Amino acid sequence: MTKPALLITVRLPEPVKARAAQAFEARFATTDTPRTGPAIADLAHGVDAILTSTIERLDAATIGALPDSVRAIGTFSAGYDHIDIAAARARGIAVCNTPDVLSVATAEIGMLLILGAARRVGEGERLLRAGAWKGWSPDLMIGMQLSGKRLGILGMGSIGRNLARMARGFGMEIHYRNRTRLPPEQELGAIHHTSDDSFLVACDVLSINAPGGAATRHWLNAARIARLPRGAVVVNTARGSLVDDAALIAALKSGHVGYAGLDVFEGEPNFNPGYLDLPNALLLPHMGSSTREAREAMGMYALDGIAAVLAGRTPPNLVK
C-alpha cells in the first residue's frame, strides 16, 4: 500500500521524525529558514499534506497556489494565526494544530517570567556578570512579592488555567478575562470580569494568554496600560501581536509598568530594539513550549491529526 506523501518544513524531534518516516512518504526540508509562499507551493507538488510551523506564513495566496493533492495542513503549534483558515477551508484543506499538549510547559515559562520580572532576576544576574555587585544591602534589587497579589489572566484556556493553578501555590488571587465564564470546576474561585475596565484595575500582574489574530492585535495598548495599577508586572507568552510595543516600552520607561517578562514578540525573530536598553524588561526567545516532553507531544499530535484527515476521519485537533 502506498504511503501518503507528507512535506515537512520544520525540524522535528527525533522520535517524531522517525514516526513520520515510518507512516508517510516523508519529504523533510533541509533547513529551518522560513520559506516564501511560492517556495512552499513548489515543494508541495505531489504531496497529500504539509507539516509546518509558525515561522512560515500560509496566507490566502499561498493556500491558493497549493496543488490539488494537498488535503491537510498540520502546524507544529497551538496558535494558527499564521494560516489563512478561511482560504484553506474554501479549498477543502483541513488544518490541525497542537493544543493542550504544550500547556503546562508554556504555563511554566509564564510563571518563570512572573517571578523573574517581579523579583528583578534579569537585573540581578547582569549585575553579577558585570562584576558590579558590591555585596548585600537593605535596598538592593527591591522587587514585588507575589504572595497576596492579584494575577489577571487574559485568556483562560488550558495555558491560562495551568498558570492559575501554579500561581495559587504562590498565594496569588486569580482574576480573569475570557470570552465566556468558566464552569465552577474550572474556575476554582477565580474572579471573572466582563469588562476590560474592571479586569485591568485588578491586575497587579497581567499575564497575556489569549490567541493571536486580527481581533486581538495590539490589545494591550496605551489606553489599557493606563488602567493597570502603577508598577504592575506585564507578562506575555501568547503572541507578540497582542502588545503595542511602543506603548509598553513607554510605560516601562515611565514606571507605570514596573516590570515586563516577554517570551514572544511582534515580527519575531525581529523585535522592537527599544526593549534592549530597559533594565526592567526580562526577555526570552519564544521558549514557552521548549521542553523535550512538550515538543515531542506536539509533533505526535500534529501527525495524529494529519493521519486522521487523510484516512477520512475528523481529528480532535481540527481547527474549526
Amino acid in the structure at residue 88: A
Specify which residues 174 forms β-bridges with: 151
* 268 belongs to the catalytic site: yes
Q: What is the 3-state secondary structure (H, E, C) of the chain?
A: CCCCEEEECCCCCHHHHHHHHHHCEEEECCCCCCCCHHHHHHHCCCCCEEEECCCCCECHHHHHHCCCCCCEEEECCCCCCCECHHHHHHCCCEEECCCCCCHHHHHHHHHHHHHHHHCCHHHHHHHHHCCCCCCCCCCCCCCCCCCCCEEEEECCCHHHHHHHHHHHCCCCEEEEECCCCCCHHHHCCCEEECCHHHHHCCCCEEEECCCCCHHHCCCECHHHHHHCCCCEEEEECCCHHHECHHHHHHHHHHCCEEEEEECCCCCCCCCCHHHCCCCCEEECCCCCCCCHHHHHHHHHHHHHHHHHHHCCCCCCCECC
CA distance readout (Å), 260 to 7, 208, 243: 38, 11, 12
- Taking the C-alpha atoms of 280, 269, 298 and 106 in order, what is their torsion angle to the nearest 10 degrees? 10
* 286 belongs to the catalytic site: yes
123, 187, 266, 268: the active-site residue: 268
119, 286, 292, 313: the active-site residue: 286
35, 239, 292, 295: the active-site residue: 239
Q: Are 237 and 159 in contact (CB under 8 A)?
A: yes
* 218 belongs to the catalytic site: no
Q: How far apart are CA 52 and CA 27, in angstroms?
A: 12
Q: Please list the active-site residues.
A: 239, 268, 286
